[in-house]
Structure 1
Amino acid sequence: MTTSALNKRTRLAVPGGLTHHAGLIGLLIVLAIFTATQSDAFLTGPNLLNVVRQISVVAVLAASLTLLMTAGGIDFSLASLAGVSAGVLARLLEAGVSELTAVALTVGVGITVGLLNGAIITASGVAPFVVTLGTATALEGVALLVIRGQSISIGQNLSGLGFGEVVGIPVLSLIALAVCVGVGLVMRYTTIGRHAFAIGGNEAAARLSGVPVTSVKLALYGLNGALAAIGGTMLLARLGAASPGTAGLHLELTVVAAVVIGGTALAGGSGTIIGTVLGVILLGVVANALNLLQIDSYYQQVSVGAVLLVAAVANQVRRRHSG
């Protein structure tokens, strides 16, 4: 596979524009209209800003996972690592470490765990699903050990990040936007992005064409770890404390659901950051609608699972049709 062939494959694998996601956009519009007719609070500025702020962490984690999944990888430890990162950061701030230094050290922890995941996967050949699920389970315990099973308040630390605004837009949302745009540019215009699509499409062919498969996978898992730590930092800033259950399985499933809903193939080889963002927004609107309509919160998990199943089936049908 030549460089030009890789470029062509990337253009085909990253559907252009919003027209490719017309169905998802239509569903969002219908849901928004329905919710607006049932609740006057839905289209108010404060509520919309609240939705945007709440989906910011999911957007960061989902953007990272989108790039990894295009390369045929998966990481079920993202949310657990975000929880550990929140705990580590809270401990560092409690010990008097400056905010900037504490965040840098936390991101370093995230990168280390991400590289560890990548090293185990590339060296052992064990399925990423199994490795990262094992890592997630271990990290759940580590998170509890770090905070010793108690809630750790960070006081006014990171308040500018958690509650600050720039021209009326939450800082958390601006960070999420920057991450999504950055990942989108990487996917479409960089060598590592083209290599990710090539590996996801056919790893053996990519290796034979000279793609450094092992190095690319390590880089992607390292990036995943870094963005998980950033997500954990954002989560801590928004909540103001690291507590047991700050992040975990529910957040992880929400992230995976958003990516799959957005059209990224579980088998790898295709994906788009625009679709992922739309998936994140859809799940955020669903959660907000359930809250405004005073529907039992337990139905949120039901709705996420149902939307994920429908999206997975729809994506598979679409892939068969296009193939």
Structure 2
Amino acid sequence: MTDPPRRRFTPRGVPHAGLIAVLAVVVVFTAVRSDTFATDRNILNILGQISVNAVLAAGLTLLMTAGGMDFSMGSNVAVTAAVAARLIAHGHATPYAVVVALLLGTAIGLVNGLVVTFTNVAPFVVTLASATLLDGVALLVHDGNTLSVGQHLFTFGNDKVLGVPYLLVVAVLVLLATGLAMRFTVFGRDAFAIGGNEHVARLSGIDVTARKLTLYGLTGLLSGLAGVMLLARLGSSSPGSTAGLSLQLAVVAAVVIGGTSLAGGHGTVIGTALGLVLLGVVANALNLLDFSSNYQPVSVGAVLLVAAVANEMHKARSARR
């Protein structure tokens, strides 16, 4: 009696093997060229800087898995941060401003969901239009002025617990909750089903309309949370801030790099987290190695294009099996 053949270990059997390999190459290259890269302070700095993106990416991963898309999340951040800053600057209590920001972000997400669900207009078109509109609203809220919140959110945006920034703790909790929901809950399984085939999901008894509205509302809520986090980290909100479409593209890049399908039906929070870290490390490496800041959007765009092509090639190979 012969023993069953042993399965040979190959890198292809490791989830996100290609992404991990690229990340390892970038990390080793930068660590060799810069003495400050591998320090605890710099690593925490990288993770702290991607915390806002991580909260947005968690919601977008779940939404894209269900076949949706929201290009207005970054602009939602700009509006909610501006509104919260204006409320605080005008003497309102900080908890009140935070609650208003969360509710406003959720309402914006629900409006997107209503339009997408009941008009059948492509989510890309709806949310891109929303992004343009919200960018204009953010400018109106600022009225050309920078809105400072002083020390009101300083602790949340800058202090640490057990050496870990509060913002990073929030980001990890959001990613963890999203990952667990996608893997172990009916809601998560429904998202995969809707993204795989919406018509079949509807025939199987899933309330697709309710699920879509919930998903868009959730992305809006997380956008509001990210707006508060960004405001806490910067201490102010200003016209033409780091929020908006540039933030959104970085988030989309991280999610797509992580392997979430643009067509829906497949997505992982672990992949998204790796994509976030890769983009954060690349941005940090460009800074430490004295490259011009103009190279950062170039690198994000290039990595996003390569990831999108790789996703399509992987999908084509999977279909042939």
Question: Into which bin does the TM-score normalised by the smaller protein fall?
Answer: over 0.9
Q: Could you tell me which residue of structure 1 aligns to residue 62 of structure 2?
A: 67
Please say if 1:288 is aligned against 2:284.
Answer: yes
Query: Which residue, out of 84, 96, 106, partners 1:111?
Result: 106
Paired residues, number: 306
Q: CA deviation at 1:320?
A: 1.4
State the secondary structure of the residue aligned to 2:15.
helix
In structure 2, distance between residues paired with 1:313 and 1:80:
27
Normalised TM-score (structure 1): 0.93
In structure 2, distance between residues paired with 1:59 and 1:44:
22
Query: Which residue, out of 185, 205, 212, partners 2:200?
Result: 205
Q: CA deviation at 1:260?
A: 0.2
Please say if 1:81 is aligned against 2:76.
Answer: yes
Query: Which residue, out of 241, 253, 256, partners 1:260?
Result: 256
User: Residues 22-78 of structure 1, C-alpha deviation per residue, up to 9 Å, x if partnerless?
Assistant: 111111111000001111010112111111110000111011100000010000000
Q: CA deviation at 1:102?
A: 1.3
In structure 2, distance between residues paired with 1:169 and 1:19:
29
**Higher gyration radius (CA):** 2
Structure 2 unaligned regions, length at least 5: 1-12
Please say if 1:242 is aligned against 2:237.
Answer: yes
Q: Which residue type is aligned with residue 244 of structure 2? A: G
Q: CA deviation at 1:95?
A: 2.0
In structure 1, distance between residues paired with 2:293 and 2:25:
21
In structure 2, distance between residues paired with 1:153 and 1:95:
10
State the secondary structure of the residue aligned to 1:245.
coil
In structure 1, distance between residues paired with 2:101 and 2:50:
21
In structure 2, distance between residues paired with 1:68 and 1:149:
34
Q: Could you tell me which residue of structure 2 aligns to residue 299 of structure 1?
A: 295
Q: CA deviation at 1:190?
A: 1.2
In structure 2, distance between residues paired with 1:296 and 1:232:
27
Normalised TM-score (structure 2): 0.94
State the secondary structure of the residue aligned to 1:20.
coil
Q: Could you tell me which residue of structure 1 aligns to residue 190 of structure 2?
A: 195
In structure 1, distance between residues paired with 2:210 and 2:240:
34
Displaced runs of 4 or more, over 4 A:
none
User: Residues 212-239 of structure 1, C-alpha deviation per residue, up to 9 Å, x if partnerless?
Assistant: 0000000000000000010011001111
1:1-323 equivalent positions in 2, closer than 5 A: 19-246=14-241, 247-323=243-319
In structure 2, distance between residues paired with 1:295 and 1:66:
31
* Percent identity (aligned): 59
Q: Could you tell me which residue of structure 2 aligns to residue 14 of structure 1?
A: none
Q: CA deviation at 1:19?
A: 2.4
Q: Provide the alpha-carbon RMSD of the alignment.
A: 0.9
Q: Which residue type is aligned with residue 276 of structure 2? A: V
